[in-house]
Amino acid sequence: MNPPLIVVLNGPNLNLLGTRQPEIYGAATLDDVEALCAETAEQLGLAIDFRQTNGEGELITWVQECRGRAAGIIINPAGYSHTSIALMDALKATDLPIVEVHISNIHRREEFRHLSYVSKAATGVIAGLGIGGYALALQAIADLVAEEGEP
């Protein structure tokens, strides 16, 4: 049987990871995050499709395409977390387990980062644990997918 597919989506400006603001986001690049996800997924018996886009519409299209294709979604919506009701609606429409990841602790930062519309669609949220949050999200989603498969 094919391993369950987890789609790992990254929003705007995350392609700049490792180039600026290391005091907030650390020194790792998005390629490092992808390598961590690939290694963790293999250990957990999951397949991943890892993507980044700067476009809100593209992110929403990718979420819609998860329906009937993916077993779960991990998403770092970046700045769209705090603005996009359309992204929240698309995530809710998937009926899939969703783990939202933030590298930084958005609740310790500016007030405008405290609200995430995506959190209202997410099964769970991980924030403030650096890029290790992606590995934790994969572990969590492996459990959620296994639970869904139970009779």
Q: Footprint of ligand CA2 on this chain (CB under 6 A)?
A: 13-14, 16-17, 19-21, 25, 76, 78-79, 81, 102-104, 106, 113
Nearer to ligand CA2, 19 or 61 (CB): 19
Least separation in angstroms between CB 146 and ligand CA2 = 26
Nearer to ligand CA2, 3 or 58 (CB): 58
Residue of 86, 98, 33, 31 whose CA lies nearest to 61: 86
| Residue 117 designated active-site | no
Least separation in angstroms between CB 63 and ligand CA2 = 16
Q: Which residues pair with 73 in a beta bridge?
A: 7, 98
Spatial separation of the C-alpha atoms in residues 117 and 6, rounded to whole Å: 21
Instruction: Enumerate the H helices of the chain as residue ranges.
Output: 22-25, 30-44, 56-65, 85-92, 132-149
Spatial separation of the C-alpha atoms in residues 73 and 94, rounded to whole Å: 9
Residue holding tokens 């650096």?
130
**Backbone φ, ψ for residue 55 (5° rounding):** -100, 130
Least separation in angstroms between CB 109 and ligand CA2 = 7
| Residue 82 designated active-site | no
Nearer to ligand CA2, 9 or 66 (CB): 9
Distances (CA, A) of 80 to 9, 41, 43, 113, 149: 12, 26, 31, 10, 31
Of 80, 102, 117, 134, catalytic: 102
Of 25, 80, 117, 134, catalytic: 25
Least separation in angstroms between CB 134 and ligand CA2 = 10
Nearer to ligand CA2, 72 or 102 (CB): 102
Which residues are the active-site residues? 25, 102
